[in-house]
Amino acid sequence: MDSPCVLVASCTEFSPFDLAKQILTADALPDPRQRLEGILAYPWHINTKYYTANVDICVTEKRTIGDQKFAESVEAFIVYFDSKDVGSFEQVRSWLPFIKEIEPSVQMLICECCDHSDAVPRQRVLKWCLDNTFELVELNPVQDSGSEEDDFQETTGMKRIIQALHAHTWSNLEMKDRPAFRSPYFEQLMVEEKAEKDAAKLQSGTNTENSTDSADNSQIHAHSIDNIQGELSKSLAGASKPDSEEAVTQNANSWSTSANDKETGGASDDMKVKKGEKTRKSKEQIQEEKIDSLIKDDDLSMLAALGNNESDHETFEELFAKMRIMKETAESLPAEERKLYAEKVAISFWKAIGGDEDEIEGLDSDDGGGMD
């Protein structure tokens, strides 16, 4: 089957080939293909953002719609006339019986410039267009000086002809593969959203690192040893510097044993202590780690910062926000550990608000001593 076509005709001296040339935006017309006698066809590839289509631009200098097969393929009709020549307009009118037969979807009446004072007044042309569903397109219209809203400036001339030809669902059009139409407006929003998210991620980079750490069990263990190392060297006064991991475990053992002793009033037998040692060791290790990891890194540094800069309201607010979390954590702990935890927090706070070191001097060591 032949491609659908645009039939181009002229009712003046103006050559319809010129119109075809302009539609094709070519300097020279390619070699035509004769579709019928007196009807020359030039292939035109239409490429819009939604579809592509291959149509023929058929130029005729006679008043003809060819045979039925050709007539059926005509989907657009463009006719040129001169508004200063009544005869020319009459010729356009004489096209009507032919056009009525084929009823093209797109129908355009072209002229240079249609004025009210022309031989064929603008109003008459417009009315005729309306009655016969044609669109009047002027190639050189009188420019309205700024009366139109700038955002929605009307397209005129050849651009409008091409635009109108694009705004037709050609029978052989092939839709472009658009899995989903994405609004440019939304594209922009998505880009902005992504940028925001990335910025947020960057900011909370350390936090997320911590959370992934705690999610990983093996890392918790490694962490706990580290923490205990630091904590024990601090809290157990007089304890030797823990050089090896074994030494740390030793210390932890003695610490938990004494805690166990305290709990049972020191009256437990060796077996019991030994047994408790084993079970409690791991338990306490984890608890200790939990407590330390909760206040150690961020909070302590924040508290320290608070101590340096007492007037900083933001830090104080942060502190209070953390305070609530700390309280919740404390509530979830058993009585014994809650005391320890509370003490640590209290000491941190004391230091943070720049309290006298003397007041808390010995608290750590006292505690440690008691455990020893």
Partner 1 sequence: MLNFIFLVNKQGQVRLSQYFKHQDENERRDIEPEIVKKCLNRQENQCSFLDYKQYRIIYRKYASLYFIVAADEEDNEMAVYEFIHHFVETLTSYFDKVTEIDIMFNMDKVHMILMEMVLNGEIVETNKNRILAPLRTMDHASKR
Q: Which helix (H) or strand (E) holds 49?
A: none
| Choice between 126 and 347, CB closer to partner 1 | 126
DSSP string of 225-247? HHHHHHHHHHHSTTPPP--SHHH
| Choice between 61 and 103, CB closer to partner 1 | 103
To partner 1, the closest distance from the beta carbon of 63 in angstroms equals 22
Q: What are the phi and psi torsion angles at 48 (to 5°)?
A: -110, 180
148-182: b or e for each residue (b if 16 or more CB lie within 10 Å)? eeeeeeeeeeeebbbebbbebebeebeeeeeeeee
To partner 1, the closest distance from the beta carbon of 59 in angstroms equals 22
| Choice between 189 and 363, CB closer to partner 1 | 189
To partner 1, the closest distance from the beta carbon of 117 in angstroms equals 16
To partner 1, the closest distance from the beta carbon of 130 in angstroms equals 6
| Choice between 144 and 328, CB closer to partner 1 | 144
| Choice between 54 and 329, CB closer to partner 1 | 54
| Choice between 131 and 269, CB closer to partner 1 | 131
CA 249 to chain centre: 52
Q: In whole angstroms, what is the distance from residue 120 CA to residue 82 CA?
A: 9
Go through the chain and tell me how many residues it has: 372
To partner 1, the closest distance from the beta carbon of 133 in angstroms equals 5
109-141: b or e for each residue (b if 16 or more CB lie within 10 Å)? bbbbebbeebebebeebeebbeeeebebbbbeb
DSSP state of 61: S
| Choice between 194 and 278, CB closer to partner 1 | 194
To partner 1, the closest distance from the beta carbon of 83 in angstroms equals 17
Nearest to 169 by CA among 46, 35, 69: 46
To partner 1, the closest distance from the beta carbon of 184 in angstroms equals 4
Cβ contact 53:97 at 8 Å? no
Q: In whole angstroms, what is the distance from residue 237 CA to residue 224 CA?
A: 20
To partner 1, the closest distance from the beta carbon of 47 in angstroms equals 12
SS3 190: helix
To partner 1, the closest distance from the beta carbon of 145 in angstroms equals 13
Q: Distances from the Cα of 221 to the Cαs of 225, 245, 293, 360, in angstroms? A: 6, 13, 12, 31
Structure tokens at 39: 């009807």
β 33-36/74-80 pair status: unpaired
Q: Which residues bind partner 1 (CB under 8 A)?
A: 48-51, 105-108, 126-127, 130, 133-135, 147, 151-155, 160, 163-164, 166-167, 169, 179-186, 189-190
| Choice between 17 and 51, CB closer to partner 1 | 51
| Choice between 163 and 308, CB closer to partner 1 | 163
CA 264, 270, 271, 273 torsion: positive or negative? positive
224-238: b or e for each residue (b if 16 or more CB lie within 10 Å)? bbebbbebbeebbee
| Choice between 163 and 332, CB closer to partner 1 | 163
To partner 1, the closest distance from the beta carbon of 274 in angstroms equals 59
DSSP string of 325-353? HHHHHHHTS-HHHHHHHHHHHHHHHHHHT
